[in-house]
Amino acid sequence: MQVIGGKDKEGEERNNLRDSVQKETLRQLYQKSAEEKAMSMATENNLPYVDLHVIPTNPETVNAIPEEKAIKANMAIIYRVGKKWQIAVSDPEDIETKKMLEYLKTTEGITYNLVVVSEDGLKKAWEQYRFKTVTDNFENEGVSLKSGDLTDFEKGITGLIDLKKRIAEINTTEIFNIILAGAVKTRASDIHIEPDKETIRLRYRIDGVLQDIVKFPKSVHKTIISRIKMLAKMKLNITDIPQDGSFNVSLENNALNVRVSILPTTYGESVVMRVLSENAEGLDIDQIGLNEYYLDMILKEVSKPNGMILTTGPTGSGKTTSLYSFVRKVNDPGIKIITLENPVEYRIEGVTQTPVEQNEEFTFANGLRAVVRQDPDVIMVGEIRDDETAAIAVQAALTGHLVLSTLHTNNAAGAIPRLLHLGVNPALIAPAINAVIAQRLVRRLCEHCKEEYVPSEETMSSLRKILAGIPKNDKMQFPDKFDKLYRSHGCSKCNFIGYTGRLGIYEIFSMSTNIEKIILANVSTGDMLAAARAEGMISMGEDGILKMIQGVTSVEEVHRVTGIMGDVA
């Protein structure tokens, strides 16, 4: 409602309101009498009555017969399974209706049951023809998503707030394009479409964190799901088992590969789409967040002609991004680099990249065996998770290859027991390994809206204690005193999230005589950690705290990804 100034305006407003209330009451009365008429028509013909203002219809069903025919025959198809239809008519005795029913039965072999609806109800069902072109176009065009559509939508979206507004006012046929364009615009890595009892929730994962975008009415669920299924070449009529698929979208100056996973849930099919951008560039070794000490260490290790560099951490901790940055660093026309990946996340010129599907014929293990025969200098293996892969990777590292890979452990020290568990001979570990990295990703505070604040005295004293315990080195500056931290409240530049982009926090140790002794003595992860610590290893949490004090990230982020700082925030 507008803000009205002056008494005359208020009076006018009241009159308008009264008028519209009267109109609405009349309309409802009219509709009621129309529905009552339909109800008695149903009784006379001994047929059920349905109120199409209450019972929903959908475009796929209504589209079973063309619009002109439906209007001429005064009918609408409101439910169908194969050739069994439920047909809504406004007058079962109407001559055109009867003709059409006869045609459907004898020529098309349709068996049907009839329900009686009001004329107004029929019109309501026919509104679904407005959405006809969506599904028709998919089928005819071999379900390509026109890049023009997406680019146009993308151009029209300036940020999340705008996206939410656009989604609220857009018609059903365009919703899917808007969802995808919005994801591209906000750099979302995943799109989640989750049906609830009455609504569908749309969420994007942006910089690793799920953000609520909007809630749709349940009525658009089927349209969105159908569109996704057609694009990803999935079975449209199957709704009770999980399905996987993918599709590609070419954009003006980019291409997307979208991996789709559909899962049946109590309230309908739930969708997760992972968006991989073809020209995602990856980061250079000095952009991933390594502090000066670690950067210096890693630069030394990647320049060695052999050995293994392992990164560890849970899924989504940026392991692969780090490995890619190492590959980019060593990439040179004089050396041959082969990767085995699942999937290929970034393309790097001059590097032979091989996608591994992880099926029986093509595993990391037999892929790696083939790669070694291709005479590479550097090998990147997406993941070491079985004995065979571990054994071949260690052999390769010992025989003149630089091997880059990831392990699924929580911290750097844990990599050694993990390799032992995978059956690697303890005597080979120290000679094979150059360095072990553990990492997490924290979001970067938005440069446009970040602000200083003075934390509580308790926070300050805990931080000072932690800082005092960090092993020092001469490669980097340690703050001897500090009096403020940083936070942000969000602005239009960061979609009101407060963060843009991410960087890693790390703990790294390289192989040393002391650490080798510990490995051969077969002692615990705790002893491993103590040895690495004695060599100067800064923990992930400590690295996070240093980045917090520098104003790169916030207390909340470091706490979110490491669990430390819980009592000081």
Nearer residue to Zn ion within complex by CB, 351 or 494: 494
Burial of 491 (0-12, 13-18, 19+ CB in 10 A): middle
Nearer residue to Zn ion within complex by CB, 416 or 497: 497
Nearer residue to Zn ion within complex by CB, 173 or 500: 500
Q: How far is the CB of 444 from Zn ion (least distance, A)?
A: 10
Neighbours of 288 (CB within 10 A): 23
Nearer residue to Zn ion within complex by CB, 159 or 343: 159
Q: How far is the CB of 208 from Zn ion (least distance, A)?
A: 17
Q: Edge to edge, what strands does the sheet with 337-341 contain?
A: 352-355, 337-341, 378-381, 402-407, 307-312, 433-445, 499-510
Q: Could you tell me the two tokens for 451?
A: 């602000």
Nearer residue to Zn ion within complex by CB, 130 or 489: 489
Contacts of 313 (CB under 8 A, 6+ apart): 319, 406, 409, 410, 438, 439, 440
Q: How far is the CB of 449 from Zn ion (least distance, A)?
A: 3
Q: How far is the CB of 317 from Zn ion (least distance, A)?
A: 24
In this chain, which residue has its C-beta nearest to Zn ion?
446
Nearer residue to Zn ion within complex by CB, 455 or 490: 490
Q: How far is the CB of 445 from Zn ion (least distance, A)?
A: 8
Task: Please name which of 468, 189, 465, 215 lies closest in space to residue 346, comparing C-alpha atoms.
Answer: 189
Nearer residue to Zn ion within complex by CB, 381 or 449: 449
Nearer residue to Zn ion within complex by CB, 155 or 493: 493
Nearer residue to Zn ion within complex by CB, 52 or 160: 160
Place of tokens 């992880």: 358
Q: Edge to edge, what strands does the sheet with 111-116 contain?
A: 75-81, 84-89, 111-116
Q: How far is the CB of 158 from Zn ion (least distance, A)?
A: 14
Place of tokens 């200083």: 452
Neighbours of 398 (CB within 10 A): 15
Angstrom distance (rounded) from CA 92 to CA 188 = 52
Q: How far is the CB of 495 from Zn ion (least distance, A)?
A: 8
Q: How far is the CB of 160 from Zn ion (least distance, A)?
A: 12
Nearer residue to Zn ion within complex by CB, 244 or 452: 452
Element (H, E) at 213: strand 209-217
Nearer residue to Zn ion within complex by CB, 301 or 557: 557
Q: How far is the CB of 276 from Zn ion (least distance, A)?
A: 26
Decide if 557 contacts 443 (C-beta within 8 A): yes
Nearer residue to Zn ion within complex by CB, 433 or 494: 494
DSSP code of residue 146: P
The CA-atom distances, in angstroms, between 305 and each of 290, 308, 337, 371 are 22, 10, 12, 17
Q: What is the contact surface with Zn ion in residues (CB under 5 A)?
A: 446, 448-449, 491, 493-494
Decide if 362 contacts 370 (C-beta within 8 A): no
What is the dihedral angle through the alpha carbons of 456, 459, 465, 466, rounded to the nearest 10 degrees?
-150
Q: How far is the CB of 163 from Zn ion (least distance, A)?
A: 16
Q: How far is the CB of 491 from Zn ion (least distance, A)?
A: 4
Task: Please name which of 539, 535, 533, 536 lies closest in space to residue 513, comparing C-alpha atoms.
Answer: 535
Q: At what angle do helices 147-156 and 160-169 cross, to 10 degrees?
A: 120
Strand runs labelled E in 55-137: 75-81, 84-89, 111-116
The CA-atom distances, in angstroms, between 262 and each of 145, 156, 221, 267 are 19, 29, 13, 13
DSSP 357-425: --SSSS-HHHHHHHHHHT--SEEEES---SHHHHHHHHHHHHTT-EEEEEE--SSSTTHHHHHHHTT--
Ramachandran angles phi, psi of 66, nearest 5°: -65, 155
Nearer residue to Zn ion within complex by CB, 136 or 452: 452
Q: How far is the CB of 200 from Zn ion (least distance, A)?
A: 29
Q: At what angle do helices 387-398 and 364-373 cross, to 10 degrees?
A: 20
Question: Distance between terminal CA atoms of the chain?
Answer: 42
Q: How far is the CB of 500 from Zn ion (least distance, A)?
A: 7
